[in-house]
Structure 1
């Protein structure tokens, strides 16, 4: 099961966070800082799967952006690794360049892919269907 998804820049600033299990707001900042420090300090030739406390971290770097997913010990790391890549491909398909000004759309994409900590959709056109409908309504 997926516990959380973070999008973080190289400076360690969280750009997007989505939690699928309740975490207190006061604890989130400390958790995110620790997770980011753990992933950003790793070298490029090291594995993208990290044992962290009572769960695992799966992360990928795309230019200056890191996407970190916290999962339970029973989750398949390679499937999450590919999910991250699929998520980035969907973002790339929908946005031309600037993602950070459209975080509401990124949340919609993430919600179409993951619900209650489980992967529910990986088909790019199905993921983008609600956004396409919203865009048509806004234009019409």
Structure 2
């Protein structure tokens, strides 16, 4: 279970948080286009925004257009990686929380991880909203780092995460 990246976008498609997993950054091969959140944010938004929450699932197969000038060998690698990813997302009010994961990973576990992340944000900020994410982005990244580490779920106890965040706040 490894996240490639996480995105938080509003209804208009503005990215409020984008983070690529550290596991992806450490790999020796250059990442395919789907692994770079800055290249994919418009694609992700176009894919998930029009979906009907009542009748469609929160899991979407994700393929990005390969980037221009590359050799055939790297295109084959890109095609393999593109067909093996999917977006797991959840909408809370006006925000879409999206993660890009391997196609073989458990979607429900990531859906639960997104919900856990939102619950921690909600408790930390007291009814979190988009403005909290914009004006306190450094705290949001700290919360993200407490919940996810190198693309994997690090902590599943809300109290442990909030206690660590309290300690970080005291250091400021």
> TM-score if structure 2 supplies the norm length?
0.74
Matches within 5 A, 1:111-122: 111-122=145-156
- Within the candidate set 49, 63, 78, 1:40 is matched to 49
Q: As a proportion of its length, which structure holds more helix?
A: 2
Q: Deviations over 1:5-61 (max 9, x none)?
A: 000000001010010124589x64331110111011211221100111230110000
How far is the alpha carbon of 1:88 from its aligned partner? 0.4
Query: Which whole-Å CA distance do the structure 1 matches of 2:133 and 2:16 have between them?
Result: 10
Q: As a proportion of its length, which structure holds more strand?
A: 1
Gaps of 5+ in 2: 26-30, 64-82
Q: Deviations over 1:59-105 (max 9, x none)?
A: 00000000001001121100000100000000000002433211111
Matched, 1:65 2:99: no
Query: Which whole-Å CA distance do the structure 2 matches of 1:128 and 1:106 have between them?
Result: 12
Query: Which whole-Å CA distance do the structure 2 matches of 1:16 and 1:71 have between them?
Result: 17
Q: CA RMSD in A?
A: 1.8
Aligned residue pair count: 137
Structure exhibiting the larger radius of gyration computed from Cα positions:
2
- Give secondary structure in 1 for the equivalent of 2:133: coil
How far is the alpha carbon of 1:129 from its aligned partner? 2.4
For residue 144 of structure 2, what is the aligned residue in structure 1?
110
- Give secondary structure in 2 for the equivalent of 1:59: strand
Matched, 1:99 2:129: no
Query: Which whole-Å CA distance do the structure 1 matches of 2:155 and 2:104 have between them?
Result: 20
Gaps of 5+ in 1: none
For residue 13 of structure 1, what is the aligned residue in structure 2?
14
> TM-score if structure 1 supplies the norm length?
0.89
